[in-house]
Each structure stands twice: as C-alpha cells, then as structure tokens.
Amino acid sequence: MEDKLMQNPYFVKAMEFIRDTDLNSMENGKHFIDGDNLFVNIVDSDMKTPQQARLEVHDKYIDIQVPLSKSETYGITPRNECKEPDGEMNPEKDILFFKDPVGVTITAKPGEAVVFDTETAHAPLIGEGKIHKAIFKVIALPAD
C-alpha cells in the first residue's frame, strides 16, 4: 500500500503539508490545499466508546487523520471483512457505515498521522471527552 500511496502526488503533497504546517494554528472548517483533490477538515468532535464507534469506508478519498489535542483510538477492519452495511454509500459525502463491531484498534498520539485507504474500514473518535483533529481527504487515484 505504501508504494501505491507514494505514487499519488496528492498523498505526497498532503504529507508535506502535515510536515510543514502548524495544524493547531488552523481555524476549524474545510481548507482546500489542491481543489477537490486534497483538502483538510479541522474539527472538534465528541469521542465515543468502542461500542458507539461505527466503521466507515470511502470510495473516492483516502483519509489521513491527525489527532491534535489528545490521543485518539481507531477501530480498523479490512473492508472486505465488513458484512453488515448500515445503509448505502452516500456518494456526496463519500461514506458508507457498517454495523460490524470494532475489533482491532490502534491509537495515535497528538501529531501522528494515521492513513486509511479505500480498502480499510475505520472507526474514528474512540476515547473520552472532545478532540481537536485534522482530517485530510486525498483523492484516490485509479489503479494502473
């Protein structure tokens, strides 16, 4: 996956932006870096228990999530192992949720970037309280 991502110029640009930008200084909201091909949402969100967190997938965008104010835990499952869709893919929001339970989790510390490609279901926002974070959306380029 890493080689494929590094061949995506928008992914490379996103990683450079993360490296070179003080994300904590950015205002909440959507910031376009390269049109619809690469943008970041700076948000404050309520965190959830693992039981409340829902697995989600995207078709059009790769997610790069960066917790800023505190650590964040994510549930992860290969997309092809998710068996219980919760509705249909919303093409406008590029999101499909699943009812499958969260199994494996990973935790990122503030400033660490976590990448979820289109083949990985992820359940963000596992933790307590509120979190300030950056969610980068990188256009997924078609496979050769």
For 123-136, the pLDDT digits (tens) are 999 999 999 999 99
List, edge to edge, every strand of the sheet that includes 61-67. 29-34, 38-46, 130-139, 61-67, 114-116
Chain mean position to CA 137: 7
CA angle 11, 139, 108 (to 5 degrees): 55
**pTM tops 0.85:** yes
What average pLDDT does the segment 62-70 reach?
98
- Per-residue pLDDT, 4: 79
Q: How confident is the model at residue 80 (pLDDT cuts 50, 70, 90)?
A: very high
3 state SS of 132: strand
Q: How confident is the model at residue 36 (pLDDT cuts 50, 70, 90)?
A: very high
Closest to 102 measured CA to CA, from 37, 45, 56: 56
- Residue identified by tokens 């980068």 is 136
DSSP secondary structure letter of residue 53? -
- Per-residue pLDDT, 5: 83
